[in-house]
Amino acid sequence: YQAGEKVRTGDTGIDSKPDRNYVAIGYIVKTYGLKGDVKISRLSDNPDRFANLKEIFIITKDGARQESCIKKVMWVKGGLIISLASYTTVSDAEGLVGSCIAVPEDEVPSLGKDTYYHYEIIGMDVFTTDGRCLGKIDDIISTGSNDVYVVKDDNHEYLIPAIRDVVKDVNIKCNRMVILPMEGLL
C-alpha cells in the first residue's frame, strides 16, 4: 500500500455505509506478543493519527472489510503496536498480516490550500501549459525537500518536481494537473 492510498473493498464485512471509499493509513506487518496485538507500518504523516482513532476498518488483500475498535496504541522501538478489540490471541491476529488499516475518506482531515493527499494525486492526468498530455501520475517519491511525481504514459516516464515553479494547477475534481516544464525536464 502507498501512503494515503484509496482502498477498494469487497462486499463482505460490517459497515453501516457500504458504499464509502476508504483511505489506507497503515499496513499490518506482523503480530506482536501473545494477546493479538499487531505491528503497524504507518502510511500517515501524522504520528498521532492512530492515537486519536477509536474505530477503524481492516481491509484484507482480497478486499474483505471489517470494522474494529482500537483498544490501545503503543509506541515501541521500531514501530507502532495496536491492540484491536476483536483480536485477543496470536492466532486471531495472524490472519490480519498483510491487511491495511483504513478510515472512510469522508473522515480524512482536510488540508490547507495547495496541499493534497497522495491518493488525490496518484492517477491524475498531467498536461503541460501548452496542452500536451504527458501521462498519469503513477507514483510519488518523497525526497525530503519536495515530492517528485512519477508520470508515465505508454512510452515514457517523467520525474516532475512538486514545486510551485513547475506545478501550475491542480484540479482534484477534474483529475488534472498542469505543469510548466523547466528547461531539460522533459
pLDDT-derived band at 9 (thresholds 50, 70, 90) equals very low
Span 61-117, pLDDT tens digits: 888 888 898 899 998 887 889 999 888 999 989 999 999 988 888 777 777 787 888
CA–CA dist 33, 11 (Å, integer): 31
CA–CA dist 160, 4 (Å, integer): 20
CA–CA dist 124, 152 (Å, integer): 11
Q: What are phi and psi of 121, to 5 degrees?
A: -95, -40
CA–CA dist 169, 186 (Å, integer): 18
Span 48-57, pLDDT tens digits: 777 777 788 9
Mean pLDDT of the chain: 83
Q: What is the pLDDT of residue 20?
A: 62
